Amino acid sequence: MASSPTVSSLLHPSLGRQAKSQDSIPFQLHSLHKLNSSILCLAANDAYIFSGNQDNDILVWDKKTFELKATLKGHTRSVLALVYAEDKKWLFSSSGDSTVRVWSTITLKPVYIIDTYAETCAGDLFSIAWCKRFQTIYIGCQNTSLQWFTFPSASNFDSCSGTTTPNGSFIRKAHKFFDSYPQFERRPADLNANNPQTNPPSRAELEELEVPRLGVPSTNVIESEHFGYIYCMMVLDDGESNGTTTLVTGSGDETVKIWTCSNTSTGRPILAHTFECNYGAVLALAAQGVQTVYGGCQDGHIKVLDIETRTLVRSIIVQEGVDILSMSVIDSDLYTSCANGEVNRFSGSFDCTASWHAHDGIVLSSVITGRTASNYMLVTGGNDDNIKVWNVVPPAPRFQSLSEGDPIVSDRSQLGAESISYALSKFVSIPSVSCYESHHEDCRQAAIWLKKCLQQLGAKSQLLPTCPTGTTNPLVLGTFTGNQGPPTRPRLLFYGHYDVFPAPPQGWITDPFLLDGRNGYLYGRGVTDNKGPIIAAAFAAAQLLYGRSLGVDVVFLVEGQEECGSANFSRTVEKYKDQIGHIDAILVSNSTWISEDTPCITYGLRGVIHCSIEICNKLPDMHSGVDGGGVAEPMKDMVNLLSTLMDKKQQVQIPGFYDHVRPQTEAEKELYLRLANVVQKPASDLSSRWREPALTIHNIEVSGPNNTTVIPGTVKSQLSLRIVPDQDLDTISKSLCKFLRSSFNEFQSPNELRLTINNPADWWIGELNHPWFKALESAIHEEWGTEPLRIREGGSVPSVPYLEKEFSCHAFHLPMGQSSDQAHLPNERISLNNLQKGKSVVARFLVKVAGMGRS
């Protein structure tokens, strides 16, 4: 992956909105008290709560009775971090005494003592993290070093005696200074020389002498990769990362670092990326899955980081200037513990849903643990010597019919209509409305879900960031590599978009984000535009791949901003063009038929130019009774200006507007007459909607309260031009602005005119004689048993002409839905039959073009 720039300071508003109520505060179940000892760290398993204390001990509390069951002694300084390793039934503890101790959570006895590398003093060990995959404990040190110790396999490591492999690198070596005898004794350094006993050793000391003592070898140290104490760390591992694991560290140098760990001879972590947080030391880390990391900062900010795309997703402002010392996650809820004694809960959409005063002092630590099968506890510890136990309820699933870890398909041989509907139900349940800031995180989650879906279906997929600060939604890139034919197979790019148009509930019979099947149709926002066709095409490629008959490489490129202008799409494609690779053709499925019963193939789209007009007088809004007639009103100027754009015959008055419109051929006239009989509309109506340019005035907005007595000081209007072959996009845009300014100047108005051209998109016309177009027509004919109608669209898909030019190849457009599918309207739907046959058409098309070779 190409490197991305580091994240700068906060560039956009926090989404930490206040949505809390007193009723949502968790109930306190119990309080545990340890006299004169701050609770510095917490861990838990099914039976116990473990608390690491300032007085060097680890207390073991029974989760059912809340009684103190044992005290684990051995550390000679404060216990700073605890980690429970479920696979080993071990508890790891680190301390200010520069050791990590390993305890059995079954016997509650010490198992090992691990000394950090002795040549340099590691100081306080602020953080530890256990990697189950590599059987490695990672250690974050006060001296800014990152250290690690890997437990060898049972075949060469005796857990009772502590003996090791022949090289002996795992046994702690005597330190030439701390373990030395007096110089006059002229004896070499010896582990037994440290702190010689003047009194007979106690029973506890004798027991400790029997504990195997291990040491971090010199090869397992990375010096000064952070320029500050390593306060926190964690391991992210979903088991699907091709033998690597991600380690995340946070430091006093105001950074979060991402490391890639693998099971090499040294196991040395490789620095993959650095996030610059710039809001004080990073004191706490938490994660939602393996994609999203929360970094809690000293100045009260939480940085929400996307690990794969290396982007800052959001900054949540908990409270300015108040340290965030611990964080815990349950499902999509994030609990933050702060230096002012407060605990806050944030939802998956970054709303603050609860806030309460938990401790009379600083909340230093927290952990979430299960109490029963359905109940959970948030355990918090503070410098008030108390541990508080709170009853917490996992949040309702953020997305209906979506559960973590639930496979899209359990068996790739089952890729029929039922599996398509199931996958689509999950996809539709994510409200990925790109034009609303409140749904920004939902869009990112939709991208993450689609990436995982493509992976499960057999593609190699990843997210491509469209902006280093995460303010625009990522692209999903997924590649199904063909398993038939020569290595130089044709490569087809399938373009789509996972974002959807808004879906206000008015007019919907059912929840727009809950897939509903009725009378052979699936209802829900995005089922036809464009989530349904994406799923159908992905299942088509997967079916051929599973049957070892995929003779082309199918590259899915799915964006998340199509419904609001495709911001940064072209820039991102150009940046990652080498990763996308060579493309021979482009397939799009982002429109519908012109009828209910006859399949179609689209071969043309109009382009569009959006223009924003603003007229203002730089005065406040005024009362028409007081000032009417005494000022040049912006509204009058706007009405007069808009009226100059068209004449009484609805002809656009921009000079030269129609000069380059491609003349209609006789073949087109015959086609429109045939289509007119199908849709029962005049041929001229089809012609005017598909192949003639048009101007539309969309709205007029005013400043002020918008009542009948106000003279607005600012008036805005939005208009669009639909352009066709062979009109030039830039020429028409400049002519429009020139005409508007010239017309406005003729008014001799003192008001100010401002013009902005937004999101222009070029027209597109298909190559009807191209072999791949013929192959697509043939595939439709074979599947539906009838010749498809060749149609054009009056709307625009900005990315299609761009992709054609960028990859120097042709695009082909396969509509899957019917004319009544209600895209962008209430009760959007798609026929189950159309969805299944759409999948089959794509599969047939892929088989046909496999033998055509690369362009």
Nearest residue to 62 via CA among 74, 50, 79: 50
Same domain, 810 and 778: yes
Q: Identify how many contiguous H helices and E strands the chain contains and give both numbers.
A: 14, 47
Is the same domain home to 446 and 569?
yes
Q: Given this model, what pLDDT does residue 178 score?
A: 54
CA distance 597 to 512: 25
Summarize pLDDT for 599-631 with one digit per residue, the tens.
Answer: 999 999 999 999 999 999 989 999 998 888 889
pLDDT score recorded for residue 199: 57
pLDDT band per the 50, 70, 90 thresholds, residue 768:
very high
> Residues 633, 532: one domain?
no
Could you give the number of structural domains in the chain? 3
Instruction: Identify the domain boundary among 736, 761, 786.
Output: 761
The yes-or-no verdict on residue 99 having pLDDT over 90 is yes
User: What domain range is 186 assigned to?
Assistant: 55-143+145-222
- Same domain for 730 and 772? no
Residue 492: pLDDT band by 50, 70, 90 thresholds?
A: very high
Do 538 and 620 belong to one domain?
no
CATH number at residue 721: 3.30.70.360
Q: Is the pLDDT of residue 537 over 50?
A: yes
Q: What is the pLDDT of residues 777-827, one digit of tens each?
A: 999 999 999 999 999 999 889 999 999 999 999 999 999 999 999 999 999
Task: Residue count of the chain, please give it.
Answer: 855
Q: What is the largest CA-CA distance in the chain?
A: 112
Distance CA 536, CA 516 (A): 18
Question: Does 811 reside within a domain?
Answer: yes
- Looking at the fold, whether 114 and 91 belong to one and the same domain comes out as yes
Residue 402 domain-assigned (yes or no): no
Q: Is residue 260 part of a domain?
A: no
The residue written with tokens 């190559």 in the block is: 767
**Residue 477 belongs to some domain of the structure:** yes
Burial class (CB in 10 A: 0-12, 13-18, 19+), 711: buried
Provide DSSP, 264-292.
Answer: SSS---EEEEEEE--SS-EEEEEEETTTE
pLDDT (tens digit per residue) in 214-244:
999 999 999 988 999 999 999 998 766 567 8
More confident call, 255 vs 198? 255
pLDDT score, position 184: 66
Residue ending a domain, among 746, 761, 776, is 761
**How high is the pLDDT of residue 855?**
62
Residue located via tokens 């101007």: 695
Asked if residue 718 and residue 699 are part of one domain, the reply reads yes
Give the pLDDT score at 1. 36
Choice between 833 and 413, residue whose per-residue pLDDT is larger: 833
Q: What is the pLDDT of residue 18?
A: 57
Which CATH number belongs to the domain containing residue 495 in this structure?
A: 3.40.630.10
Q: Which of 173, 195, 222 is the last residue of a domain?
A: 222
Residue 177 neighbours by CB distance under 10 Å: 10
pLDDT in tens, 283-331: 999 999 899 999 999 999 999 999 999 999 999 999 999 999 999 999 9
Residue-wise pLDDT for 125-142, tens only, equals 999 999 999 999 999 999
User: How much is the mean pLDDT over the chain?
Assistant: 89
Tell me, what's the pLDDT at 164? 38
Task: Give me the pLDDT at residue 565, please.
Answer: 87
Q: Do 447 and 517 fall within a single domain?
A: yes
As a whole number of angstroms, the distance between CA 826 and CA 527 comes to 12
